[in-house]
Amino acid sequence: MANQTYSTTTMESRMLRIQAGDYVKQLRIAAGLTQRELADHLNIKHYTFVSQFETGHGRLPPSLVIKCAEALGQEPRHFAMKMLSFYDPMMHQALVHPIKKENT
């Protein structure tokens, strides 16, 4: 579909934000970090910010993806691509799936 759109207000996007938050939460717990400790690694004053994106009420800002990956012991490129799959699935698909050449 050439006119396919993706809205950040749809139920699908809400579910993807929840999945992204759960992914980060699982990594945080596996790394042995509290929300407050992760917030400290990210230089965020309020640990509730971590809670917001872990519950899908917010997004991890792109400016914090690398810091977050490092704090969670993840390879930044892999972590960024995983977060992109949740936050912008169409862009993720465009980047990871091979381009099919049409016969002309």
| DSSP label at residue 97 | S
Both structure tokens of 58? 């917010």
Which amino acid is residue 2, in one-letter code?
A
Report the CATH architecture of 11-96.
Orthogonal Bundle (1.10)
- Residue 3 reports pLDDT greater than 80: no
pLDDT of residue 68: 98
Q: What is the pTM of this model?
A: 0.82
Could you tell me the sign of the dihedral formed by the alpha carbons of 34, 39, 43, 45, in that order? Answer: negative
pLDDT tens digits along 85-100 = 999 988 888 888 866 6
Question: Is 8 a residue whose pLDDT tops 60?
Answer: no
Q: 84: part of which helix (H) or strand (E)? A: helix 76-87
Domain ranges, ordered by start, for the chain: 11-96
Q: What are phi and psi of 4, to 5 degrees?
A: -65, 135
Question: Residue 7: pLDDT above 70?
Answer: no
pLDDT in tens, 52-71: 999 999 999 999 999 999 99
Read off the tokens for 26.
Answer: 């699982």
38 touches 28 (CB < 8 A): yes
Q: What is the mean pLDDT of the chain?
A: 89
